[in-house]
Chains A and B, each alone.
Chain A
Amino acid sequence: MIRFEPRANPGPVLTYGVPVIAAAIAILLAAIPLALADAPIIKAYGLMISGAFGSVFSISEMLTRATPLILTGLAAAIAFRAKLWNIGAEGQLYMGAMAAVAIGSGVIDGPSWIMIPVVMIAGMVAGALMLIGPTLMKTRLGVDEVVTTLLLNFIVLLFVQMMLEGALKDPMSMGWPQSEPIIDSAVFPPLIERMRVHFGLIIALVSAIALAVFVKRTVWGFEIRAVGENAAAAKFAGISVTKTMILVAALSGGLAGLAGVAEVAGTRGYLATDLSPGYGYAGIVVAMLARLSPVGVIASALFVASVFVGADSMSRAIGVSSYLADLIVAMALLCVLIGGFLTRFTVHFDRKTAG
């Protein structure tokens, strides 16, 4: 018989070490599918590492991929901290991107120091509004936000499609469903010349640190933690659960919207329905790998991004499907969940009791 006993107080080694070990185990476990695909295992690992870190170009690609993941990861982390189960980061990302395109593709013009903040704010507001609606429905009517935010993703994507075929369609796109490009003054400048990694990375890193400080050190962060950990006690102590939830929704939706802005203004330059390869959903995984720590999100986003970029490059070289990346990330998540469990409980194996 297996029994689990809770640990009184897991130390820092366990808390921080377990996710790292879990990620390493997940990468090692990738050897099994590689072997099944008859790929040279050692060579495949080497290709993955060089694909993600082998050159300035590959590092730049990895960081470009990590940028939206940090932002959507933060969006999930702050929401989950307050037990607001926001599964709609994907939709909020697209709304943010659409708002950025709507405002940043020539309606107004100005110098970069005005245009960049303007498109950022537009995207954040759009993303925030996308989550505030379901949150109000949750607090007022008890509607499950998992269902509403998840389904809104599809509604938003269809809405974006409609707009790209209509009002936002670029007349110069030769019939492709894509928006007009962001004007130059609103484009996020690249951090390294002729590389894709852009100013959005700085925004993402600053956001992560600011969010960590916000949660830990401010009154609002205090209230978010209290509501997330024990809403009944927070309510009893006079903290407004509804207001706190709306604040969380604004932050979470805003960060996801910002991810959309970063993709449009930093990487792609225009909006299309294939803007995000599921960054919103991957953000949930990133946040869980980071155990909902804002600073930890940076590390886990870098991990997930390097697995994706490395596996892409490896699959091009030796013909193993790049779905391997999804597999590794999924296994890392499972390993972190198991690891988290082992952090909180000790396992005892008992002989079966007689009778």
Chain B
Amino acid sequence: MPGTVGRFDQLALCVAVTHHRPFAPQRDAKTKRNARMSSAAQTSQQTSQDLLLALAGITKRFGPLIANDAIDLTVHKGEIVALLGENGAGKTTLMNILFGHYVADEGTVTVAARDGNLEQLEPGAPQAALDAGIGMVHQHFTLAENLTGLDNIVLGTEPIFRLRRDRTKARAKLAELMAGSGLNVDLDQPVHKLTVGEKQRVEILKALYRDARLLVLDEPTAVLTPQEADSLFAVLRKLAQNGLAVIIIAHKLAEVLAVSHRIAVLRGGKKVGEMLTSDADHRSIAELMVGREVPVSRRIAREPGQPVLTLSDVTIDRGDSRRSLHGVSITAHEGEILGIAGVSGNGQAALAQLIAGLDKPDHGSVEIFGQKVEKFDAHQFAQNGIARIPEDRHHDGMVGSMTVAENIAIEDVRNAGYQKFGFLDFEAIRKRAEHAITDYDVRCPGPDAPARLLSGGNIQKLILARVLEKSPKLILANQPSRGLDVGAQSEVHRRLLEARQNGAAVILISEDLDELLTISDQIAVIHAGHITPAMATDTIDRSELGLMMAGQKKAHHAPTNQKTTTHSGETA
């Protein structure tokens, strides 16, 4: 809604904080100059000649919180190191220290100069990190959308005052880089016309153009289709062969196992493990990251029941593809998880809005519980037993300044149990919250604490408690585990599977193929507002799914007859 921006004090004050960072570097911190990198280097079999970067004993405290606790990390030329850890494990802090955004309280950053001599990097100086050849590709790209790829790459490397621009040298250098790495992009296209994968290539080229010798990629595959991820990995391997050192920050294990040479695991600010990828296995790393055993989500075979939600030829045209659907027909059954796979921005938002009761179809009909829906109203939907888990849990899922208890009851405050003559029954609201906090293990100071104090995982648990407590018949789960750590993710999956077991129909919209293949019974693919017929998960080939997500392939077979499909229980 326009005009809801805080106008008065907020605006006035924000002027002063345009660029606030949550934490400030502590310039007064004394950096110890005892380089203890020899111990860190031992894990690698490469000689110290090839050593490119050594972080030694890095400690960073924010008040009582120790974000990094004596972390050692080395990277050699031509090596791909995966830095794994859950949210809050300290990965980002460590990289910020490497880039000079933060100054470590203790420890040193040493980089091999171009002549091979190890030199200590000046702490707290981003320019020094850049000069030393450290390049970063952020998860959210830092490209000017209306400039071409070439413009973006050379931006900042050309003199500001010049009479004419000569980019022959730049082009030659980039052609060489592209040939050597396979990073092929049309550099004369404006960036907004490029796909996400191509934008990422431009970002990588940007770093290489500035003679990066160490490339840090923050969650590089989060926005890619499996095919794009595979080609990124091919590029990274080639670059590594040519001598580039790479650090990948990640929390998806499968990818890390596929591409890296070495894995370092952080948990709670400490390095809890480091191993060669060839020695590592999926389960042991997951446990290292989480610090306890991770329950594996399994579907228990179950016959699907009656149709709960049926969309017939639904069209929603909002002019832009993110918010439009074209002739969509899908059915979700009792006791079934219907996965909707797709790359973000292909109409998932429109589908979610529709099932959440926030939008109505221009065309076609929606049947819920066997009845045609006439009135699309979020309140009605919620009251009729539809659980809705929003995509953006911070933006749509909670009111930060209101209490945990109020946020749990928010859908139901008009109901008899929570108010009398319009006055809220705080006792009842509080009691429900106390139950929810225990049952769903919401970590918070208490029911009266403002919800904004909760972490992402706990906000999601709060939302689960809000919607699942009422034993819903239909669940809309839109990206329910995105951005959550492994532990919280498995909790979300367990809850959805439990609801499925109790007979709920679940629509699971996700970009995470692992998630979809693990817990869905059926998967349909959404692309450019079209949704393919649902396919039984067990018959699906991962790479085929990737092609369909990219819009290059139609459904490989006719919709399966769901009544006769047998679901195997083993999917993990």
Contact = CB atoms under 8 A, between A and B. Distances in A.
Contacts of B9: 288, 337, 340-341
B485 to A, nearest CB: 21
Interface residues of A, number: 48
List the 9 closest pairs (A to B, CB-CB), nearest first.
Answer: A238-B379, A3-B24, A238-B378, A355-B125, A236-B396, A237-B410, A230-B399, A229-B399, A341-B13
B356 A236 contact: yes
Interface in A321-355: 337, 340-341, 344-345, 348, 350-351, 353-355
Interface string B405-435: 0100011011000010011101000000000
B397 A236 contact: yes
B410 A337 contact: no
Contact of A219 (B379, B396, B397, B419): B419
A233 interface: yes
A243 to B, nearest CB: 10
Given A238-B379, A241-B1, A354 B125 contact: yes
In terms of DSSP, what is the predominant structure of the interface of chain B? loop
B124 interface: yes
Given A233-B410, A234-B410, 10 more contacts: A3-B21, A5-B20, A5-B22, A9-B453, A83-B4, A222-B413, A235-B396, A348-B24, A351-B27, A355-B125
A236 B413 CA distance: 14
A118 interface: no
Interface stretch (A107-115, A140-148, A191-199, A204-212): A140-148
B379 A231 contact: no
B382 interface: yes
B415 to A, nearest CB: 10
Give the interface centre of A145, A231, A232 by most chain B CB atoms within 10 Å.
Answer: A232
B424 A217 contact: yes
Contacts of A233: 390, 395-399, 410
Interface string B186-224: 000000000000000000000000000000000000000
Contact of B3 (A146, A229, A238): A146
Nearest to A87: B7
Interface string A142-157: 1011100000000000
B402 interface: yes
Contacts of B399: 225-226, 229-230, 233-234
Interface string A104-145: 000000000000000000000000000000000011001011
Given A225-B399, A288-B9, A341-B16, A354 B122 contact: yes
A218 interface: yes
Given A229-B401, A233-B397, A240 B379 contact: yes
8 contacts: A3-B20, A9-B450, A237-B411, A288-B9, A341-B13, A353-B124, A355-B125, A355-B127
A350 B25 contact: yes
B13 A239 contact: no
B125 A353 contact: yes
Interface string A238-277: 1111000000000000000000000000000000000000
B410 to A, nearest CB: 4
Contacts of A279: none
Given A83-B6, A337-B12, A218 B453 contact: no
A159 interface: no
B171 to A, nearest CB: 31
Contacts of A232: 395-396
Contacts of B401: 225, 229
Contacts of A144: 2-3
B292 to A, nearest CB: 28
B161 interface: no
B4 A350 contact: no
Interface of A: 3-6, 8-9, 80, 83, 85, 138-139, 142, 144-146, 217-220, 222-223, 225-226, 229-241, 288, 337, 340-341, 344-345, 348, 350-351, 353-355
A350 B27 contact: yes
Contact of B388 (A146, A217, A234, A236): A236
B398 A230 contact: yes
B381 A238 contact: yes
B17 interface: yes
A230 B452 CA distance: 12
Contacts of B378: 235-238
Contacts of A236: 356, 358, 378, 388, 390, 396-397
Contact of B27 (A8, A217, A241, A353): A353
Nearest to B390: A236
B402 A229 contact: yes
B175 interface: no
A229 B1 contact: no
Interface in B325-384: 356-358, 377-383
A240 B398 CA distance: 16
Give the interface centre of A3, A9, A145, A344 by most chain B CB atoms within 10 Å.
Answer: A3
Contacts of B383: 238
Contact of A231 (B1, B356, B381, B410): B1
A225 B27 CA distance: 41
Interface residues of B, number: 56
Nearest to B6: A83
A225 B402 contact: yes
B273 to A, nearest CB: 32
Contacts of B411: 237-238
Contacts of B380: 238
A3 B62 CA distance: 14
Contacts of B24: 3, 5, 348, 350
B1 A142 contact: yes
Interface in B1-51: 1-4, 6-9, 12-13, 16-17, 20-25, 27
A152 B27 CA distance: 53
B66 interface: no
Interface string B103-145: 0000000000000000000101101100000000000000000
A233 B124 CA distance: 39
A225 B22 CA distance: 27
B124 A85 contact: no
Nearest to B382: A238
B487 interface: no
Contacts of A341: 9, 13, 16
B127 to A, nearest CB: 5
Interface in B232-258: none
Contacts of B3: 83, 85, 138, 142, 144-146
Contacts of A230: 395, 398-400
Nearest to A8: B453
Given A238-B379, A240-B379, A355-B125, A218 B358 contact: no
A337 B406 CA distance: 28
Interface string B173-189: 00000000000000000
Give the interface centre of A223, A236, A355 by most chain B CB atoms within 10 Å.
Answer: A236
B122 A355 contact: yes
A341 B424 CA distance: 32
A218 B422 contact: yes
Contacts of A217: 423-424, 426
A218 B356 CA distance: 26
A5 B358 contact: no
Contacts of A345: 17, 20
Given A146-B7, A239-B379, A337 B125 contact: no
Nearest to B20: A4
Contact of A139 (B1, B12, B16, B23): B1
Contacts of B17: 4, 345
Contacts of B25: 350, 353
B301 to A, nearest CB: 34
A76 to B, nearest CB: 10
A144 B7 CA distance: 12
A258 B125 CA distance: 60
Contacts of A288: 8-9
B127 A237 contact: no
